[in-house]
Amino acid sequence: MLKIASVLLVRAMACGLAFAADANEKAAIQSAVQKAMAQYEEGKVQDAIASLQEAISIMQTSGQKSMAAFFPAAPEGWTKGKVESQSLTSNGLNFNEITCIYTRSSDSAEVHMQLCNSPQMIETHQAVAEAYKNPQMLAAINQSGQMKISQFSKDGWIGWTKVEPDQGAELVSFNGGNLLSIRCDQSDEGMLKQFVGMMNFKAMAEQSIGR
């Protein structure tokens, strides 16, 4: 049972939680795992599984709270919406996602911010980032006049920014097991830079798994 518990919890932490739990949460996680081990030894397999799921749930909730703290306060003239969070499962992997919408009072312009730690999404975006490292490809895209794409790199985060006429502006960046997306509903590079500048990329990088 110890091996089973270890595998499940490592998978949960690697794929569903990118931020550390506090002391109380760690104690609750350890208690749930110990309970699961005792139940397994008693032959109560379903109860043991339920206890392990409880431990995973605590880790996911902790991850969501930690992730939400990285969303900045609204700048002057803007309103910050409610931070929404959810835990998702795909191909047997658990991961967290939080989103928030900022709205400008003067014209109702919106900026959508998303932070998640989905392995599948990160893998897909890594492939795109690699393609954008090709200077000839990037030059050809930008010369078309249909959009402006620039590589992004800051405090261990890499990715790109894109401004597309009538389609908006966005940043897509990732670090370790975390993916950040900032999307403006207007094709305003200055607006995008304003919100990118408010993010504490260094602190987010330091919280990533593997650091």
Q: pLDDT for 179-205, tens place per residue?
A: 999 999 999 999 999 999 999 998 887
Tokens 């902790």, residue located:
62
**For residue 60, which of 16, 92, 102 has the smallest C-alpha distance?**
16
Question: Which of 20-34, 78-92, 186-200 comes out lowest in average pLDDT?
Answer: 20-34
Per-residue b/e over 146-157, b at no fewer than 16 CB within 10 Å?
eebeeebeeebb
Global pTM reads 0.69
pLDDT band per the 50, 70, 90 thresholds, residue 131: confident
Task: Give the residue, 91 or 137, on which the prediction is more confident.
Answer: 137
Q: What is the pLDDT of residue 62?
A: 59
* Mean pLDDT value of segment 86-106: 79
* Mean pLDDT value of segment 81-94: 73
Q: What is the pLDDT of residue 94?
A: 62
Q: What is the pLDDT of residue 176?
A: 77
**For residue 170, which of 92, 208, 94, 114 has the smallest C-alpha distance?**
114
Q: CA–CA separation, 36 vs 31, rounded Å? A: 9
**Which two structure tokens, joined as six digits, stand for 66?**
């930690």
